[in-house]
Amino acid sequence: MTQIAGTTLPTATRQQCVVGQLLGSGGQGEVEQVRVDGQPYALKWYFPEYLPADRDLRERLEAAVEQGVPNNRVRWPLKPVSSPDGRTFGCLWDMQHWV
């Protein structure tokens, strides 16, 4: 799912998300550094192959985004981002939790 550095993706709020470098990957997906309005974020993409194993993932993440960050000590999804091909999705996260 790695996006090419420099690719621009829209967030759910129609902001432009510019992809930077790959930060890491694991069983669920990959995390890439991105910039939205010049600010750094981490963008976690979920592998399309992972999604059938966690069918409620998108719904839970969207509910968490609506609820808002409870405090600054936890990783919390900030904004959903859809892949250009529509096969998967990701979420923006505060960069401080990924470095």
pLDDT in tens, 3-54: 778 888 888 888 889 999 999 999 999 999 999 989 999 999 999 999 999 9
Q: What is the pLDDT of residue 57?
A: 94
pTM: predicted TM-score of the whole model, two decimal places: 0.84
Q: Mean pLDDT throughout 85-90? A: 88
Residue 75 covered by a domain: yes
Res. 1: pLDDT tops 70 = no
CATH code for the domain of 69 = 3.30.200.20
> Is 2 domain-assigned?
no
In a domain, 47, yes or no: yes
- Counting the structural domains of the chain, the total is 1
Inside any domain, residue 1: no
Distances (CA, A) of 61 to 2, 4, 16, 38, 76: 21, 24, 20, 24, 9
Q: Do residues 61 and 46 touch, judged by C-beta distance below 8 A?
A: no
The whole domain housing 26 covers 8-97
